[in-house]
Amino acid sequence: MTQSQYKALSVDDAVTYARTIPDFFAQDADLICEEIGDGNLNLVFRIKDSISGKSLIIKQALPYAKVVGESWPLSLDRARIEREALIIQHSHCPDLVPAVLGGDSELAITVMEDLSQYTIMRKGLIEGNVYPGFAEHIGRFIATTLFFTSDLGMNQQHKKTQAASFSNPDLCKITEDLIFSDPYRNSDNNNFTEDIRNETERLWNDPELHFEVALLREKFLTHGEALIHGDLHTGSIFIREESTKVIDPEFAFYGPMGFDLGAVIANLLLNYASQPGWSSDMKTLEARRDWLLSAIRSVWEQFEYRFRTLWNDECQDPVFNSTGYQDFYIRKLLQDSIGFAGCKVIRRIVGLSHVADIDAIADESLRHQAKITALQIGTALIKGGRSAQSIEEVILAAKTAAEKEGVAI
């Protein structure tokens, strides 16, 4: 099939395609299909055998951003990038990434394992669930996938070839605009409520903040350290108590490692800021917030432990074992992660694309307060990231913002 034969699948087309996956459904299986995509960019079909219950997912990229419409064209090559990233990530962490069962680059399709027995982590956190295995899982995912796709852990000539094949300009441009530009100026892309206009305009008129954002934007544009997931928020994580699966790496490219860690930290902080809107009493609020802060600490510690172990055992380049270099690198990663986390918090409050943790809070004053708390945390992280020495500085920024909250639950 040539590119011109691309067409958006109907549910019937999805069933027909599902039947071509070798050794999956019986030839005479009665297959039922629903389109379940609720994200910003793609179609997602679940195809299920009505008798055995066996199922798979077909994800298809649309040639434009679904959230905006056809006026925002997007390359279909992101489906290939997502599929190839999933395959690489699954090869490093088979228990943490769904298996790819097939795909077609011209139709912009990836066929993968169905995870319908899992919950999207954002929803689970809003419901007040805690996940004891999460920090180990996500710390290991980030450390392992980044280490083995970086100059530390893979052949450096092969890395250059791989980086070229993961050039992802359209999706990177979304991030460059929505995360590293629009929130800091009066852009038509922004999407904020009038009750936070003063705080938003303060973001537009803060030279110290703009300087730090420029440094982070430069890192995102130029530091091809590893094959990063590129959009590792809690909507890209399927979870249940004992298991975690990372999905949706369509924003994958060779970028700065701290961007993935920052995304996870930011989304735990957004939930932290939102908790007065979801907790029924002060005791519940305190317990949930304590868990979220200890999860942030543990994600960093698990990441650091895994990354250092891989470095000590598997580093491909003897020069990188020079005394002090590993410590220097890890500190820089922590600082980058904190700065990126700050940018990723702020974009979800004033930028185009928001999160349900904040926007779905029913009580107007608690919703307002959650936005203020998030903006305070985000600003503190961006301004403090470059000098940070410990993950405790993130915890302190969150607690400091929470202490200023005025509205009681």
Give the position of tokens 């943490």: 96
Q: Least distance to Mg ion from the beta carbon of 357, Å?
A: 16
Taking CB within 5 to 8 Å according to partner kind, which of ligand SR1, Mg ion, none is near residue 355? none
Contact (CB, 8 A) for 393 and 338: yes
Q: Is 231 in the site for ligand SR1 (CB under 6 A)?
A: yes
- 64 vs 305, beta carbon nearer ligand SR1: 64
Query: Which member of 84, 248, 260, 357 binds Mg ion (CB under 5 A)?
Result: 248
One character per residue 137-176, x = contact with ligand SR1 (rule: CB under 6 A):
-------------------------------------xx-
Place of tokens 């929470």: 402
First vs last C-alpha separation in the chain = 58
Residue span binding Mg ion (CB under 5 A) among the ranges 87-95, 195-203, 240-248, 296-304: 240-248
Write the CA distances from 370 to 271, 396, 405, integer angstroms. Answer: 9, 17, 9
Our CB check for Mg ion shows the closer of 37 and 39 to be 39
- Residue with smaller CB distance to Mg ion, 248 or 336: 248
Phi, psi of 137 (to 5 degrees): -65, -50
Taking CB within 5 to 8 Å according to partner kind, which of Mg ion, ligand SR1, none is near residue 353?
ligand SR1
Tokens of 220: 């995102």
Q: Provide, rounded to whole angstroms, the least separation between the CB of residue 189 and ligand SR1.
A: 9
Which of residues 58 and 380 has its CB atom nearest to Mg ion in the complex?
58
Q: Are 391 and 404 spatial neighbours (Cβ–Cβ below 8 Å)?
A: no
- C-alpha span between 293 and 300 (Å, rounded): 11
Q: Which is nearer to ligand SR1, 82 or 231 (CB)?
A: 231
| Helical residues (DSSP H) of 276-324, grouped into ranges | 282-314
Residue 38 or 194: the one with the smaller Cβ distance to Mg ion is 38
From candidates 32, 67, 214, 282, binder to ligand SR1 by CB under 6 A? 67
SS3 4: helix
Smaller CB separation from Mg ion, 82 or 393: 82
| Burial class of 97 by CB neighbour count within 10 A (0 to 12, 13 to 18, 19+) | buried
Decide whether 191 or 326 has the Cβ nearer to ligand SR1. Answer: 191
- In the bound state with ligand SR1, the residue whose beta carbon lies nearer, of 180 and 303, is 180
Please report how close the Cβ of residue 233 comes to ligand SR1 at its closest, in angstroms. 6
53 DSSP assignment = -
Residues 325-384 that bind ligand SR1 (CB under 6 A): 353
Instruction: Give dist(CA 39, CA 57) in Å, integer.
Output: 14
Q: Shortest gap between Cβ of 87 and Mg ion (angstroms)?
A: 17
203 phi, psi to nearest 5 deg: -65, -35
Q: Which of 65, 86, 100, 270 binds ligand SR1 (CB under 6 A)?
A: 65
Alpha helices per DSSP H over 119-206? 121-126, 134-147, 156-165, 169-178, 197-204
* Piece in contact with Mg ion (CB under 5 A), picked from 147-155, 211-219, 242-250, 361-369: 242-250
Task: Give the count of residues interacting with Mg ion (CB under 5 A).
Answer: 2
Would you call 68 helix, strand, or coil by DSSP? Answer: coil
**Minimal distance, residue 163 CB to ligand SR1, in Å:** 21
Shortest CB 200 distance to ligand SR1, Å: 18
Note whether 178 binds ligand SR1 by CB under 6 A.
yes
**Do 250 and 171 form a contact (C-beta atoms < 8 A)?**
yes
> Between the CA of residue 6 and those of 3, 42, 71, 251, what are the distances in Å?
6, 14, 18, 21
Neighbours of 316 (CB within 10 A): 14
Distance (Å, rounded) from C-alpha 297 to C-alpha 392? 7
- Which residues within the stretch 25-54 sit at the binding site for Mg ion (CB under 5 A)? 39
User: Which residues lie near ligand SR1 (CB under 6 A)?
Assistant: 40-41, 65, 67, 174-175, 178, 231, 353
Binding site for Mg ion (CB under 5 A): 39, 248
